[in-house]
Structure 1
Amino acid sequence: MLEKTWRWFGGNDQISLGEIRQIGVEGIVTALHHIPNGEVWSCEEILKVKKNIEQHGMRWSVVESLPVHEEIKWGGPRRDQLIENYKQSIFNLGQCGIDTVCYNFMPVIDWIRTDLNHQLEGGGESLFFNFVDFIVFDRFILDRIGADEDYSAELVEQARERVQHMSNGDKDRLIDTIIIKTQGFIDGITAEDPQQAVALFKELLKQYDGIDEKALRFNLKYFLDAIIPAAEQAGIKLCIHPDDPPMKVLGLPRIVSSLSDIQWILNAVDHPANGLTFCAGSLSAGAHNDLTSIVNATAERIHFIHLRSTERCEGGDFYEAEHLKGSVDMPAIVKELLMEQDRRKSAGLVNWRMPMRVDHGHKLLTDYKKTYNPGYPLIGRLKGLAEIDGLQHGIAAMLWYKE
């Protein structure tokens, strides 16, 4: 079976390691959230977390994430020193016995949603991306130069009409959702008020003036050329996370949004340590992506797996669906992943198991009594984990059943 892992946000997480162990989790996915982006992760700090996880009967399976500083992404003057710091963190993680590091190369903003409390028919709540609301944010709240050119005239007019009926509170909630709630708990902006958040966000966007897809790819390759040899020496597998959603946003370049993007990255530094975090949810938000084909084309370089599904709607909207429903053919994907894991085992690879975590989850039942990070409730993720685990056991029984 795929290794069952769970994202844990450290000591401030409202779900304890003891509780996570009770639900059958084998490995933890976490990071040193208290260390500022760009600083070195010391062995001392790494081992504190690792020891705590192991005392609860699990292992630290994947680092998610060792953040790539924005100056590395846009090529700032401190880039080389920041890369050296990153290399040292990689060496220290390897020395401490951790072998997989997930990272992303999304400029400024990580995953984007416009509503964190989308009501579902069954009574739960989901994360939702409304394309027109996002245009409201981009065109009429940020007032970004060039925003009109990125959308059809019809969509801009729909956004114009919508913003005219929004109260200041509605606009503040949209700002809070996009800039603060989905970013701040990882490595994002914190601000006293919405307008301050907007001002800070605009400053971050300015750093990417003149940076297009070609330039961002150059900067990623510059990073990988330096980091992959260090990762190989440290026994670390790096795995880049796809863009979420997989499309250009806010005028920023996005370079991990399709199979061709992924293949370019894997070929740019063609080494086993340069791999992919296969995120079914992120990739499935783009109708252009055939997820089974992506798995088949990149299987040997998939080092980490996020399993969730989105339901794509008309007009570019999407929401987080149940893990076995939505736009993702989850049985087909899990089958291909199990077959790849079996190939690794048969080839005699030492670390043949592929770590998998269910990503995001609906807010259900007692989840409403807690203030979990958006997308990371206990009951909703537990439901998804049970569904995915049952699915993989059923598929494995069918694949390898012997009379």
Structure 2
Amino acid sequence: MHQTWRWFGPKDRVSIDDVAQAGARGVVSALHHVPTGAVWTADAIAQRQAEVARMTDGRPSGLGWDVVESLPVSEDIKKQKGAWRDHIAAYKVSLENLARAGIEVICYNFMPVLDWTRTDLGFAMPNGATCMRFDLVDFAAFDMHILNRPQAAADYDAALQDQATRRFAAMDDARRQQLARNVVFGLPGAAESFSLEQVRDHLAEYDNITENRLRQHLIDFLSEVAPVAQRLGLRLCCHPDDPPVPLLGLPRVMSTEAHYRAVIQAVDTPANGITLCTGSLGARPDNDLPGMMQRLGDRVHFLHLRNVHRESDDIRGSFYEAEHLGGHTDMVAVVEAALQEEARRRAAGRADCNIPFRPDHGQDILDDLGRQAQPGYPAIGRLKGLAELRGVIAALEPRIGA
């Protein structure tokens, strides 16, 4: 398993020096400053590769840009409105430029409007660590009383509506503003972020887009770009919805094994694969993560290994991000299934036998608490997670013959 580390570029509070010292073997990055729908130029890609390759004092880092996360899919493509055909054409050019630069794995997502969604970015744990959390009551309070989405109340039962209304009433203005910021939080250096009014506008444009229609839009997109990726020797891998349940009245099409299987079968080419994120998928109790790795492993091009603690057994419920070997996902079983898939690939002579993974997210501990890095992406918390995962891999490899 190929150990990688997500890096957000020069604005990241975790430096390439830190990544090298953590012992990662490769970097996961993206050109977040390039507007969604625009071409990633060869020069911009080369610049990011150069930034990855050097430490702050100019010495070689020994690292390369191994995985793109993410080459974003525009809202126009997801809705098939506006300039969506131009954006697909630009996406193809970006794939060509990435292939010429030697980067083979391209992660993306198809979540409408918002990327991952959390209500707390620094939830305090009993030991003093902090983590990200999704509180369903807080989210319903945001949806019903801050965003004021029409028909929002219909998405929640009477008991949850009452809890959310009382929770909102107990919030002061600062907490209400913080909750709104948390829900629409963006990536550092990103070219775009949404205001509440822009979120409302985007939601209105999804009024007539059902789950089946959104899935068809994803299939249409892949029917255009997957053949290009296959010709170029690239591997596309769709990240699951996070959380993997409908939010804000929006459909979800990458939340379950059945969702993944439907898209893989609809565009049945090896380049069309998945990012198996144990944290996103693990927020649903009905997702069998070790089994998904076993059954879908042939198309797993990228792994995000993190864990969540679910606070109920409901399909849609509250959760917080646990330590990598804590939480409700059997991480040892997931890693074992991944190593078994790698062994199968080696036996078949596949060139992609080493699956890239990264320690996804992590709790803020020790010096992380004052670093103010990207929420979910601490230096020491991820280092701890990577070390734990390395230990699991080292224990399992001799048994599997990996």
Structure 1 pair 333/187, CA: closer, same or farther in 2 (3 Å)? farther
SS in 2 for 1:216: helix
Number of the residue aligned with 2:208: 210
Letter in 2 for 1:15: V
Number of the residue aligned with 1:3: 2
Of the three residues 130, 134, 150, the one matched with 1:125 is 130
CA contact (8 A) 2:343 2:401 kept: no
CA contact (8 A) 1:189 1:200 kept: no
Matched, 1:136 2:141: yes
**Distance in structure 2 (CA, Å) of the matches to 1:137 and 1:51:** 42
Letter in 1 for 2:282: S
Shift of 1:400: 3.0
**CA-to-aligned-CA distance 1:169-198 (integer Å, 9 cap, x gap):** 111010011113x556546526xxxxxx22
Shift of 1:19: 2.2
Number of the residue aligned with 2:57: none
**Distance in structure 1 (CA, Å) of the matches to 2:192 and 2:156:** 26
Of the three residues 271, 274, 286, the one matched with 2:272 is 274
**CA-to-aligned-CA distance 1:118-142 (integer Å, 9 cap, x gap):** 1112110011111000000111111
- TM-score, scaled to structure 1: 0.95
Bigger shift: 203-212 or 302-311? 203-212
Q: How large is the RMSD of aligned CA atoms in angstroms?
A: 1.4
SS in 2 for 1:12: coil
Shift of 1:75: 0.7
SS in 2 for 1:365: coil
The correspondence of residues 275-354 of structure 1 with structure 2, limited to 5 A, is 275-314=273-312, 316-354=317-355
The correspondence of residues 316-395 of structure 1 with structure 2, limited to 5 A, is 316-395=317-396
**Distance in structure 2 (CA, Å) of the matches to 1:204 and 1:372:** 29
SS in 2 for 1:276: strand
**Distance in structure 1 (CA, Å) of the matches to 2:300 and 2:178:** 37
Number of the residue aligned with 1:152: 157
The correspondence of residues 158-307 of structure 1 with structure 2, limited to 5 A, is 158-180=163-185, 182=186, 186=190, 188-189=192-193, 197-307=195-305
The correspondence of residues 76-95 of structure 1 with structure 2, limited to 5 A, is 76-95=81-100
Question: What is the percentage of aligned positions where both structures have the same residue?
Answer: 42
Letter in 1 for 2:63: M
Matched, 1:51 2:50: yes
Number of the residue aligned with 2:72: 67
**Distance in structure 2 (CA, Å) of the matches to 1:108 and 1:351:** 32
Of the three residues 97, 100, 109, the one matched with 2:105 is 100
CA contact (8 A) 2:310 2:328 kept: yes
Bigger shift: 322-331 or 308-317? 308-317
- Unaligned residue ranges in structure 2 (runs of 5+): 54-59
Which consecutive aligned stretches of 4+ in structure 1 deviate over 6 angstroms post-superposition? Answer: none
CA contact (8 A) 2:106 2:234 kept: yes
Letter in 1 for 2:9: G
Shift of 1:398: 2.9
**CA-to-aligned-CA distance 1:270-289 (integer Å, 9 cap, x gap):** 01000000000000001121
CA contact (8 A) 1:103 1:240 kept: yes
CA contact (8 A) 2:143 2:149 kept: yes
Number of the residue aligned with 1:193: none
- TM-score, scaled to structure 2: 0.95
SS in 1 for 2:264: helix
Number of residue pairs aligned between Structure 1 and Structure 2: 393
**Distance in structure 2 (CA, Å) of the matches to 1:132 and 1:207:** 26
Shift of 1:399: 2.6
SS in 1 for 2:372: coil
**Distance in structure 2 (CA, Å) of the matches to 1:35 and 1:138:** 30
CA contact (8 A) 1:109 1:183 kept: no
SS in 1 for 2:184: helix
**Distance in structure 1 (CA, Å) of the matches to 2:231 and 2:291:** 31
**CA-to-aligned-CA distance 1:14-69 (integer Å, 9 cap, x gap):** 22212211221111000112211111011111112223324421121100000001
Structure 1 pair 20/235, CA: closer, same or farther in 2 (3 Å)? same
CA contact (8 A) 2:11 2:188 kept: no
**Distance in structure 1 (CA, Å) of the matches to 2:375 and 2:22:** 21
Shift of 1:78: 1.1
Letter in 2 for 1:41: W
**Distance in structure 2 (CA, Å) of the matches to 1:111 and 1:129:** 10
**Distance in structure 1 (CA, Å) of the matches to 2:370 and 2:89:** 43
SS in 1 for 2:149: coil
Bigger shift: 8-17 or 126-135? 8-17
- Unaligned residue ranges in structure 1 (runs of 5+): 191-196
Number of the residue aligned with 2:28: 29
**Distance in structure 1 (CA, Å) of the matches to 2:65 and 2:187:** 23
**Distance in structure 1 (CA, Å) of the matches to 2:84 and 2:386:** 39
